[in-house]
């Protein structure tokens, strides 16, 4: 039996690690001076991953570079966003889910929006530079991985 190219791509995509990258991980990768920068860049270059994102991630990572006209940073982020295989729709239900997470677990608003988007998008992992002691790591159904330099491996 021969698969079409589209079917082959679909099977390959299913075998890849569905990953939602937190804004702080993208920022660390771009800046290069953060202790997690090398790990963040390696993650972004991992051919075994497919990336999931939401417009909330664009908002968090591009607002300052656009305001200050930091063209290199804008280009870096836009290159990453061009690689996204699934854009999670943003709607009232997602915000309600994020509010529930934030209220139950004491998660910050943007982290709750990202976590809700990752859950809705079926992310296998959520990668952040936050410390593993943060409330974000208590989200049920979300395998959160820390690139923080003081993480416990």
- With respect to residue 151, please indicate whether it lies within any of the assigned structural domains: no
Which candidate, 111, 150, 130, places its Cα nearest to that of 139? 111
pTM of this structure = 0.89
pLDDT of 96 higher than 90: yes
* CATH code of 135's domain: 3.40.50.1010
pLDDT of 8 higher than 60: no
pLDDT of 91 higher than 80: yes
- With respect to residue 153, please indicate whether it lies within any of the assigned structural domains: no
Over residues 65-80, the pLDDT tens digits come to 999 999 999 999 999 9
What pLDDT score does 3 carry?
35
Pairing of strands 84-88, 125-128: unpaired
What pLDDT score does 2 carry?
38
Which candidate, 134, 117, 89, places its Cα nearest to that of 18? 117
User: Domain count of the chain?
Assistant: 1
pLDDT-derived band at 150, boundaries 50, 70, 90: confident
Query: Quick one: what percent of the chain has pLDDT higher than 90?
Result: 87
- With respect to residue 11, please indicate whether it lies within any of the assigned structural domains: no
pLDDT-derived band at 11, boundaries 50, 70, 90: very low
Q: Which domain holds residue 58?
A: 22-146
pLDDT of 4 higher than 50: no
| Mean pLDDT across the chain | 92
pLDDT of 6 higher than 70: no
- With respect to residue 137, please indicate whether it lies within any of the assigned structural domains: yes
- With respect to residue 7, please indicate whether it lies within any of the assigned structural domains: no
- With respect to residue 71, please indicate whether it lies within any of the assigned structural domains: yes
- With respect to residue 74, please indicate whether it lies within any of the assigned structural domains: yes
What single string gives the DSSP state of each residue in the chain? ----HHHHHHHHHHHSEEEEE-HHHHHHHHH--STTHHHHHHHHH-TTEEEEEEHHHHHHHHHHHHHTT-HHHHHHHHHHHHTEEEEEPP-HHHHHHHHHHHHHHT--HHHHHHHHHHHHTT-SEEEESS-TTSGGGG-TT--EEE--TT---
- With respect to residue 111, please indicate whether it lies within any of the assigned structural domains: yes
The pLDDT of 10-25, averaged and rounded, is: 82
């Amino acid at each position: 039996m021969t698969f079409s190219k589209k079917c082959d791509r679909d099977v390959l995509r299913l075998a890849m690690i569905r990953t939602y990258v937190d804004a702080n991980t993208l920022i660390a990768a771009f800046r290069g001076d953060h202790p997690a920068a090398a790990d963040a860049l390696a993650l972004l270059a991992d051919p075994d991953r497919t990336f999931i994102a939401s417009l909330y991630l664009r908002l968090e990572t591009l607002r300052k570079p656009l305001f200050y006209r930091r063209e290199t940073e804008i280009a870096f982020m836009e290159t990453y966003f061009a690689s996204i295989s699934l854009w999670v729709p943003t709607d009232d239900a997602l915000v309600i889910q994020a509010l529930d997470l934030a209220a139950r677990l004491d998660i910050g608003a943007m982290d709750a929006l990202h976590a809700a988007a990752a859950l809705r998008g079926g992310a296998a992992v959520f990668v952040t530079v936050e410390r593993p002691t943060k409330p974000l790591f208590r989200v049920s159904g979300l395998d959160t991985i820390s690139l923080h330099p003081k993480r416990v491996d």
